[in-house]
Amino acid sequence: VMVIYLFDGSVEIRPAGVRLLPHVKAHLSTLAALFLANMAFSYRLQMYDLLYSAKGVVSGAGYTDVHANLQVFWVLMAVAIISAVVVLFNIRSKGWVYPVTGVGMLMVTSLVAGSLYPAFVQNFRVKPNELKQETPYIKRSIKATQKAYGLDKVKRVKFDLDNKLTLDDINSSEATIENIRLWDWRPLLTTYRQIQEIRPYYVFNDVDIDRYVIDGKKRQILTSAREMDTDKLQEKARTWVNKHMVFTHGYGLTMNAVNEVSDEGLPEFLVKDLPPETDHKELKITQPRIYYGEVATETDYAIVNTENEEFDYPAEDKNITSHYKGKGGFNIGSALKKAALAYTYTDINIAISSAIQPDSRIMLHRNVLSRVKKIAPFITHDKDPYIVIDRGRLFWVIDGYTHTKNYPYSQAFNEDYNYIRNSVKTVVDAYNGKVDFYMADSKDPILKTFNKIYPNTFKPLAKMPKGLQEHLRYPEDMFSLQSEVYATYHMSNPQVFYNKEDKWDIPTEVYESKQQMVDPYYVILQLAQSKNDFQLIRPFTPIGKNNMISWMSINSEPDKYGQILLYQFSKKKLVYGPSQVEARIDQNPEISESFSLWSQQGSRVIRGNLLVIPVKNSLLFVEPIYLQSEQSQIPELKRVIAVFGSKVAMANTFDEALEAIFSGKVQTDEKLVDTTKKPKKETLADLVKKANSFYKKATAAQKEGDWSAYGQHIKELGSILEKLKK
């Protein structure tokens, strides 16, 4: 403003000084007064920012904030208002005494009151007696943090560990024992890719855990969708027509029970091959085509109902094809639409292709995560969608979160938020791409606000089809965060919290040969508080120690969804933690020798997750062992280690390991032994016998048209032939 007045001659610069015309002086004085009034309003707003302060021993306003900084802001606000009034007097007066006085008052007050006084209070009133002064604010922070992360309703239960488990107890805990996850998703994904992708253009993106009622029993399963990746077509086949009109969709999924293993160490499939085959009516898939999934990119649009037939899956002497019959995408028949899409995707083929018919449709945004973000960018979605079979169709289920970083007194555990809720369950139809958002937490104030802003976007959870509700699961990422928060914020006593004397930690385990934090894992628990419930669990250890002090579970059953239980051990008893059990396994000479021998024979030893399984009033530790040969590159589940109390056993199967533990055949002194015979070196006769067996299996599979099994047996035969060469 001053520059404008300078150019139009309203400001005169003379040897004696600068002279302003009266109207210029009045204008500038008014602007200065408004600036100071705005400063006063800013000080008022900064009072509320104290609720998110991170300067004290806890998040939120502490003693110094309440008894010093808050008063300082009131003083600064008053001084700013007085300064604004003083500056206004400059309109009728000569010189610049009033503006200089007003601004000077604010600067001096800000320096003295804003910096010196809070520092004085902190150093001379708070520090000498910090616990007493901060106790009320520590209480507020604990309660606020627990509520912000959904931990205010954790129910604490005593777990009276007696380690008196018997075979009868094992047999009566069938639901838990039969659903112990022997298959780790990482080696299993490699196995899926080797024996179930069938063709190079099919891909399994990841493996997800779920549960189904199969033949009247609740079974924990692992599954992965077989999606299409056109970038893996042969280079000469990677034409525009093939990428966008022919190879348009994935087909079906693969599924296996978490605990079933074939004689060859491979998964026993519940659903497999092309087209998907299953012996269980609950798993029948009537619409296996996957147009919307995890693999597609933004440029992977699909044009359907063209003059080209769409590829479904390969058969013995021809390819099976189809035409799309759903409602996904939108009609692309008009020249205007084709021109607009060609411009948007910088692809002239869309506009000029003669294969496009009047009833052709184009499907955009086929990546389910990208799709839901386009529709509801204000909801943060989980990075791990999982696929579900319901009424013969395939659906993607994605967890959605609402969050904010402005929750008073709550401790932030990252830069993005200090409050979070798993408030939305999103369902995407894999065939049509239809997206439905369901309100999983109708009490969440953020979701309630979004629902008012965008009416009819969110549906009540009760309107979700029952078959899908039965597959809702509590998200691992959410539970990981909650357990990490609770490791500190389970301490409700301010003095204990201040001293951090009962802080917990997440234990570590050995995966493959590396130390890593124990991730939450799904189990079906059969305890007094949960009858065959599908739950996530995670153990805790004291900070800096390896013994286990408690474990937490959260329920995924529809009628108990989100219920959190904390099972606490007696502090008078030593309970081995995962890393201590891993150390005992490593110290077992028989097991250690077996690992070394397998490695010398050219096999890679993969140690799976060590699972802590609560059974009755005892803890059972289970660790699967996989072998991966250099030739086949297929991880095979070859051994299972079970640990109970002072007993360690490694056997060919989980049942054999349990039998060894509970039959009294395992020594319980410091020199624990393995009940499994050491792997002996195979003789020439053994190898010839195996080669003949695999050849016969491959021939039989070829006659039956089971090309997946045929390929697997040929690979195994090749592995044996390589050994014979040596």
Q: How far apart are CA 540 and CA 565, in angstroms?
A: 13
3-state secondary structure of 213: strand
Lookup: tokens for 453: 């802003």
Q: Rounded to whole angstroms, how far apart are CA atoms 647 and 663?
A: 11
Along the chain (726 residues), what's the average pLDDT of each consecutive run of 10 residues? 59 58 72 90 94 89 94 92 84 70 82 86 93 95 97 94 88 91 94 93 96 95 97 94 97 96 94 96 97 95 96 90 96 93 95 94 97 97 97 98 96 92 98 98 96 96 97 97 97 94 92 87 84 93 95 95 94 91 92 89 89 93 92 89 93 93 59 38 61 70 63 70 65
223 phi and psi, to 5 degrees?
-150, 155
| 312 vs 357: CA distance, rounded Å | 20
3-state DSSP call for residue 680? coil
- Give the bridge partners for 659, in sequence order: none
CB contact at 8 A, 247 and 233: yes
pLDDT of res. 159:
93
- Kind and range of the H or E element at 661? helix 654-662
Name the pTM for this structure: 0.86
| DSSP β-bridge partners for residue 363 | 302
**Residues 208/387, Cβ–Cβ less than 8 Å:** yes
- In the chain, domain spans: 2-146, 154-174+493-679, 179-290+297-365, 377-473, 684-725
Report CA 550 to chain centroid distance, whole Å: 23
Q: Cα 539–544–545 angle (5° rounding)?
A: 60
The rounded distance, in Å, linking the Cα atoms of 169 and 580 is 25
**Which secondary-structure segment (H or E) carries 186?**
helix 185-195
